[in-house]
Chain A
Amino acid sequence: MRLSAPFRLRSCRTLMASAAWLGAMWLGIASPGTAWPGTASVAGAAEEEVEEETFVVIKAGRVIPLCGPELPRGEIVLVNGKIRLVGNDLDYPKTARVIDARGEVVMPGMILPRTRWQLANYSRSGVHGDRSVEQELYLDQIDFEPMLAAGFTGACFYPAGTGIPGVAAVYRTAGQQQHRELGKAYVRITMTSPGRDKKVLRGAIDKAKKEIEKVEKARKEWEEKQKKAKEEEAKKEEAKKESDEKEKQDSEKNTGPGADPGAEQDPPEKKEQDDKNKAEPKQPEKFTPPKIDPAVQPLVDWIRDKKGPALLFELTQASDLVHLDDVLKQASELPATGFYLSASYSSDYDRVVEDLGRRKAVVLLSPRIGRLPYTVVRYNLPGELAAAGCTVVLLPLADGDSQYQDLRTQLADLVRAGLSRDDALKAVTLHAARVLGIDDRLGTVEKGKQADLVFLDGDPLAPATEVTRVMSVGEIVWEASKQP
């Protein structure tokens, strides 16, 4: 059956369970003369639901998958924009479109984890956990060209302001409209000026706690109501039983030798009625929790340790972390773990590096080699954070064409100053995807992930290296050679 339908492949994963098996199958069926239509017509009604599979093969000079060792002369097989195989000398259908990138290095597309590129200068203060940057963003009005030219396939836009200005959202920098939105990323909470922000956050936490109490109270009331109803029902039933028994006894008495036969017709009707009565309260009344103020919903979720968008706390100096913990300890025993460290060259984060490492924090920051405060001693903050155990996410110093272009060079500087190459590359790809909650789809060149890739003409950290092509969901969306 399988051999009889070699032109079409089900999208079943079972088929793809083992790469070796798959290879063997390709060898077996890719006999000369057999065509591999990329877009085959529907063969039969029974296979209507089967998705058509478009194969693309990238033959790269080198693949940097970031989930394993680098592959010289690596190949990537894509099916419908998804990565299916990564390796050397892979087998693939002859009809697959081959992208010849033998002179290029292919790595996961870079992701910009925090930007307001070309957004209007609009900010808000206070608690707005329900607001999203999506409300102020129009994709077609943003020029993504500088990001693409620098190798960014994704960008996360954040809402500006102080306090809890809202939720950030991730977008692809190019590609088809239906693929552009990658979802909500993180809730931005500032602790950049504790004198101001502590008050706001304290208020928000109090509100969130009250909302939780409200729900719990309502639930308790509901439970009690339910209990009472049950008890009453039980009582009713008992009473009914008694009365039934009585009736039975009565009827037994009545169904004596001189009983009226017509009297027997009544009970079934009654029974039906009884059944109805029984059935009604049996349907459990569903508990509908009272509405929670959406502005504090992210905090409520965090306090309940429920999954929701991550909280990203912004700090400007080491002391802010102490102030943040001071506020958060009223809400949860769990420490904050997501941070954006806005920094000058002489910030004093060295004081809290160990603390951040201990809590395995995810830290967004710019790739700066600053100096220890009041000294000229150079301090590689990203390197120290990574060494301490943090997940480091790096972003350009500022928004702009040249800053985007400079990022890779700055990464190289950090690597020279002690950050590992792997950490540096992951900091702009996988770790960025992780902080944005899209690492299940993006961030590495790995089976099952979407093919957002960047092609470079050399080592990504080498200063002379340029981006040659950018791929989004399996399609080349930007090419250096086609730029004016």
Chain B
Amino acid sequence: MRRRSAVFIFAAALLTAGPSAGRAEDSKPKQPEARYFAVTKATVHTVTGPVIHGPTVLCKDGKIAAIGHDVAIPDDAEVLDAEGFHLYPGLVAVRSSGLVGNEPPEDNTNVYSLSMTLGLAGGVTTAVANDTAAKLSFGTLEDHVVKRNLFAAISYTTRDPNGRRTFRQALEQARRFLRDLQAHEEKKKTDPAAKPPDAASLKGLNQTALKLLRHEVIGVADADTAQELKDLAELAERYDFRLVVRGAREGWVSAAAMARAGLYAVITPRTRRDRDERSNHPNGSSIENARILHEHGVPFAIVPGSTSISTSGLAGRDLWQLAMEAAFAVRGGLPDDAAVRAITIDAARVLGIEHRVGSIEVGKDADFAIVDGDLLHYMTLVRWTVVNGRVAYDKQKDSLLEHIRPGGDRDAPPPPDYWPRRLGEG
């Protein structure tokens, strides 16, 4: 481990030193110096790998550069000693409102808003507003947007049979067009003068359907009932496109079909819906929904019932309680690690940004929720939240929760760096 990291840092040093040592110095604008940040001694929950006790997580320019016990920390690095704390990947909220600005977020986000701070206090580092995933990059707009045009919304409900038929026809037409296109490609090999598929067939073609079939975009649909879920699964399987279903309240009934079709789900474990006794099919919500989906291999993300964050108090089912929402699924039999995955890597996978966020791996974004216990434990509070290699939230420097002592430990001394600073101090 030591050698590897040493080699890495050497290579990094070479990379940064390269241009200045060479002739290119005058022609190229001076590269800003690399920004190093390191978290030491924390228990690191990598999520996609093992739990590592007490390594150094070194970040360079907002990305994780090295993880290991003998990683050399550059002199100019900002070091966060997190002994006794647990480091998780920053949580991913696949639905949110108010944490980051409306489209486009880089023009609308209030980077000092209370909602953002509260989200960070809940461990959230990436949130989706409308159709864009953005970081809760407190105080800066650098690397704010993660991905735009996340989804293509489709409507396929039992309440609108006409709409269903139209959409099916659109998919069919798109598929035919793609087949013709492929046939044409084949033909072209032998006959260079072959005609391309009729332009008329392109006319009125549903672009969303075409993009779905070409796997250029992930579809998203709201569906809660077993029937709708089955229908969507069948559609996705038949036409082979990626689809995320939001809601999936009765996913425990249709889990097999959903798994077969490779559907993703966004669920809210605390959803309650009584069984409709008039139906002799299994229906209604189930506390075991998450477990059953997990056992069938349906990847899912968890969101709370309210996707905003309350600025008037901390009680309820909003994004500040994202980890608690996941913990509720554990009560229904979901394994702990799967619950953590549902708010980190699997949530990132639902959004198609798993290469950037969701786990602690070299090369990924340095987004951490550093907490004072097991993430799913009700006594756990976030101590620091790191976004893009910057401390975006520090419980003891922000007045929000600075005075909170879980479990009535009122004797704990207040931190020395109490905020706010007053005139005449320091």
Contacts and interface: CB of A to CB of B under 8 A. Distances in A.
Question: Looking at chain A's contact residues, is the secondary structure mostly helix, strand, loop, or mixed?
Answer: helix
Interface stretch (A142-150, A236-244, A372-380, A434-442): A372-380
B414 interface: no
B106 A326 contact: yes
B161 interface: no
A368 to B, nearest CB: 15
A198 interface: yes
B420 A372 contact: yes
B108 A194 contact: yes
Contact of A374 (B101, B108, B114): B114
Contacts of A387: 423
Contacts of B106: 326
21 contacts: A195-B102, A317-B112, A318-B111, A319-B110, A319-B111, A319-B113, A322-B139, A326-B106, A348-B112, A372-B399, A373-B114, A374-B114, A374-B311, A375-B399, A379-B420, A380-B423, A384-B423, A387-B423, A417-B423, A418-B423, A418-B424
Given A372-B420, A384-B423, A387-B423, 10 more contacts: A194-B107, A317-B112, A322-B112, A323-B141, A326-B141, A348-B112, A351-B112, A373-B114, A374-B114, A417-B423
B140 interface: yes
B132 interface: no
Contacts of A351: 112, 139
A199 interface: yes
A322 B399 contact: no
Given A326-B141, A351-B139, A375-B399, A319 B423 contact: no
Interface string B400-426: 000000000000000000001001100
B139 A323 contact: no
Given A351-B112, A375-B399, A322 B107 contact: no
Contacts, number: 46
Contacts of A417: 423
B126 interface: no
Nearest to A375: B399
A266 B244 CA distance: 98
A383 interface: yes
A350 interface: yes
A20 B184 CA distance: 101
A350 B398 CA distance: 13
Contacts of A372: 399, 420
B101 to A, nearest CB: 7
B109 interface: yes
Given A326-B106, A351-B139, A383 B113 contact: no
Interface in B94-127: 101-102, 106-114
A417 B112 CA distance: 25
A463 B420 CA distance: 31
Given A375-B399, A384-B423, A198 B111 contact: no
Nearest to B110: A319
Contact of A322 (B102, B141, B423, B424): B141
Interface of B: 101-102, 106-114, 139-141, 311, 399, 420, 423-424
A247 B420 CA distance: 93
B423 A383 contact: yes
B109 A319 contact: yes
A387 B426 CA distance: 11
A199 B423 CA distance: 38
Contact of A377 (B101, B107, B420): B420
Nearest to A352: B112
A326 B105 CA distance: 13
B141 to A, nearest CB: 5
Interface string A165-200: 000000000000000000000000000001100110
Contacts of B112: 317-319, 322, 348, 351
Residue among B111, B114, B311, B420 with most chain A CB within 10 A: B111
A372 B112 CA distance: 13
A322 B420 contact: no
A317 to B, nearest CB: 7
Nearest to B311: A374
A372 B421 CA distance: 11
A379 B421 CA distance: 10
Nearest to A196: B107
Contacts of A322: 111-112, 139-141
Interface string A316-342: 011100110010000000000000000
Given A195-B101, A351-B139, A317 B110 contact: yes
Nearest to A379: B420
A194 B101 CA distance: 10
Contacts of A318: 111-112
A319 to B, nearest CB: 4
A326 B106 CA distance: 9
Nearest to A373: B114
Given A319-B109, A319-B113, A322-B139, A350 B101 contact: no
B275 to A, nearest CB: 43
Nearest to A418: B423
Residue among B102, B107, B140 with most chain A CB within 10 A: B107
B423 A198 contact: no
B32 to A, nearest CB: 11
Contacts of B141: 322-323, 326
A350 B420 CA distance: 9
Contacts of B424: 418
Contacts of B102: 195
Interface in A294-332: 317-319, 322-323, 326
A131 B111 CA distance: 33
Nearest to B103: A195
Contacts of A317: 110, 112
Contacts of A384: 423
Contacts of A194: 107-108
Contacts of B311: 374
A319 B311 CA distance: 18
Residue among B112, B114, B424 with most chain A CB within 10 A: B112
A381 to B, nearest CB: 11
Contact of B107 (A198, A348, A373, A380): A198
A195 B129 CA distance: 15
A195 B110 CA distance: 10
B107 A199 contact: yes
**4 cross-chain pairs, A with B, having the tightest CB-CB distances, nearest first:** A418-B423, A319-B110, A195-B108, A318-B112
B348 to A, nearest CB: 26
Nearest to A350: B420
Nearest to B137: A322
Contacts of A199: 107
Nearest to B108: A195
Contacts of A383: 423
A387 B424 CA distance: 9
Contacts of A326: 106, 141
Interface string A409-421: 0000000011000
B296 to A, nearest CB: 43
Contacts of A350: 420
Nearest to B144: A326
A66 B101 CA distance: 46
A323 B108 CA distance: 9
Interface string A370-401: 00111101011001100100000000000000
